Structure 1
Amino acid sequence: MSEEQAISAVVHLYVDGMAFANEGALRKAFHPNASIVGNTEGAIEWLTRDAFIAAVVREGSAPPGTQPLMEIETIHITDDAASVKVIDEFAGARYTDYLSLLKVDGRWLIINKVWHRHA
């Protein structure tokens, strides 16, 4: 598997984890110390991985058989660091997510997510 394929697999885990409120998939995709940051209701929302996962689980799962939107626009890799721009949907809204990944013990993990919610 190429590095790009391995990174894409982590992004799939992340998008599917959000769409189907899959806590295990999200824990596998994100580093335990990851930050999830974006603007909401005029203020910066800065979440830990666990607070983000709890919010996703509270929102609930998309119906079974749903095909989650996931458009990976860019993947940039420099040795053990990478960035990904992905368009996805969550709770009926479309987002652009900028994901920073780091290869830790041979595995790519999301260490930071900055998101923008489209109007």
Structure 2
Amino acid sequence: MSDRQAVEQTVHLYVEGMAFANEAALKKAFHPKSSIIGHYENAVEWLTRDEFIAAILQEEPAPPGTQPYMDIQSVDVEGDAASVKVTDDFAGMRFTDYLSLLKIDGRWTIVSKLFHLHR
């Protein structure tokens, strides 16, 4: 598997983990020290991975068997660093996420998520 494919696989893991409230998938996709940052409900939200996962688990997950909306618009990989722009839906809202990933011990993991909530 190429690095680009492995990065995209991590993004799929994240989006599906979010859509189906899969805590294990989200913990695998995100580094334990990652940050999730953006404007939400008229305030800057700056969450740790575990705070983000807790917020996801409070929402109603997508029904089993549904295909979550995900549009990967760009992937840039340079050595052990990668950047991805992806648009996805969660809990009836559409987001554009800018994900920074780092290859640690041979595995790609999200170290930062900067998001925009569409209105």
TM-score range, shorter chain: over 0.9
RMSD: 0.6
Runs of 4+ in 1 over 3 A off after TM superposition: none
Aligned residue pairs, count: 119
1:44 counterpart residue number: 44
Distance 1:112 1:25 in 2: 16
Q: Which residue of 2 aligns with 1:115?
A: 115
In structure 2, give the amino acid aligned to 1:35: S
Cα distance in 1 between the residues matched to 2:90 and 2:104: 27
The code of the aligned residue for 2:5 comes to Q
**Deviation sequence 1:57-108 (CA, Å, 0-9, x none):** 1113111111100110000011000000001000001110000000000000
1:18-55 Cα deviation digits (max 9, x unpaired): 00000000000000000000012322100000000000
The aligned counterpart of 1:70 is: 70
What residue in structure 1 maps to residue 55 of structure 2?
55
Q: Amino acid of the residue matched to residue 8 of structure 1? A: E
TM-score, with normalisation over the residues of structure 2?
Answer: 0.98
Calculate the TM-score normalised by the size of structure 1.
Answer: 0.98
Q: State the alpha-carbon separation in 1 of the partners of residues 40 and 61 from structure 2.
A: 22
